[in-house]
Amino acid sequence: MAENRVVVTGLGVVSPIGIGVDEFWDRLVSGQNGITRITHFDPTDFSTHIAAEVKDFDPEKWIEKKMAKRMDRFTHFAMAASEMALADAGLHSYGFDKNRAGVIIGSGIGGSQTIEDGYISLFAKGPNSIQPFFVLKVLINMAASMVSITYGLKGHISAPSVACSTGANAIGDAYRIIQRGDADIMVAGSSEACITSIPFAGFCATRSMTRQNDDPEHASKPFDKNRDGFVMGEGAGIIILENLEHAVNRKARIYSELVGYGNVADSYHFTAPHPEGDGMIRVMERAIKDAKINKEQIGYINAHGTSTVQNDLIESKAIEKVFGEHSKLLKISSNKSMIGHLLSAAASVECIATVMSVYKDKIPPTINYSEPDPDCSLDYVPNKAINFKIEAAASNSFGFGGGNVCLILKKYRG
């Protein structure tokens, strides 16, 4: 049986530089930075004082007040991004079969603020102080479940948690479900609201975050010689994937076609990537093979590009290994230079940026790129967006624990 073609018909974003895909995209291509001193808690005693927080987010714009109180911030983000994506796809006014529409929305940490508040209450006031909705607020699957319940989506539901590659896992798995004919529509992505004191202290302890506290705007500098660590961010990205025939029949606007998905494990280390980029190489090659395209058709890679010394170096070398001479012609950029590292939400938000690049033939820059690293010798689209005809693009996502995902998006040709 022939595989179904899968297209992107809706996008929803909550990010440190904007809420909604238009605001997010406009600020991304203009090189706007969303990194500031932390306001969610007092960071004075932490080694890192900066983060990419979502600003001016009011959950009651998207969720009824009583229900919003029963959800953690990460679920608020997922609900808002899902509403935007469904509206963007024109599905609110279209009578689709909800038994053939599913939800895959993951998270890495889940309800961290709820957990912290619960600990404080427990040890200050005792077990009877814990509220009935505590467990429901912290569970990672609650974002997917609340979207399913709110919109009556009765197909496949799951909530992956694969560290920084979570969103790409969700999108790739949703792609497979539609491809094999088990759904017409999937709501897919990830959400993270992790800028709270316990996970932040934990990441400080790993020494993987930047300590350039005095200059937040220039602290995240992927591929630059002076990079010293990532900047934590928060947000959510949701994509509506759809069977091509279903989308065409309802005259949907199609952003791009998802044609390739690779997912492999490093099987190497808790946090460090394989020093030779083994997993990165294999996952890009697998995604390209799945896409049934030539490597030379890919013109742009939205890099994982964390601004950590080893990740950026190894990713660059892996791209060179996979693409050979063609790597010199590739355009590569890292959204994390502007939005920080959204942990589990990074992959889905960056996939949305990749979709927009393919749709608009425009590549956002890697900002804060001032001193080239001689060991990272590719074209990272420094500091200014460029217009660039894109037939196909790759979105790379690599997570703690060795999870590697690559998604291939192609320009839709009727």
Query: How far is 99 from 230, CA to CA, in rounded Å?
Result: 41
CB 393 within 8 A of CB 299: yes
Residues of 236-272 as b/e, b for ≥16 C-beta within 10 angstroms? Answer: bbbbbbbbbebbeebebebbbbbbbbbbbebeeeeee
User: Considering only CA atoms, which of 328, 90, 340 is closest in space to residue 210?
Assistant: 340
| Catalytic-residue membership of 304 | yes
* Integer angstrom CA distances of residue 230 from 36, 100, 212, 359: 13, 39, 10, 29
Q: What letter represents residue 396's amino acid?
A: N
Query: How far is 71 from 197, CA to CA, in rounded Å?
Result: 19
For residue 245 the two structure tokens come to 């025939």
The catalytic position among 304, 351, 376, 406 is 304
User: Considering only CA atoms, which of 282, 256, 240 is closest in space to residue 391?
Assistant: 256
| Catalytic-residue membership of 164 | yes
User: Considering only CA atoms, which of 409, 338, 402 is closest in space to residue 165?
Assistant: 402
Query: How far is 54 from 13, CA to CA, in rounded Å?
Result: 11
User: Considering only CA atoms, which of 308, 309, 314, 246 is closest in space to residue 284?
Assistant: 314
CB 49 within 8 A of CB 215: no
The catalytic position among 49, 76, 164, 246 is 164
The catalytic position among 341, 351, 376, 406 is 341
The single residue listed with the structure tokens 């992505």 is: 189
Give the gyration radius of the chain's Cα atoms.
Answer: 20
At residue 72's C-alpha, the angle toward residues 67 and 76, to 5°, is: 65
- Which residues are CB-neighbours of 44 under 8 A, at least 6 positions away? none
List the catalytic residues.
164, 304, 341
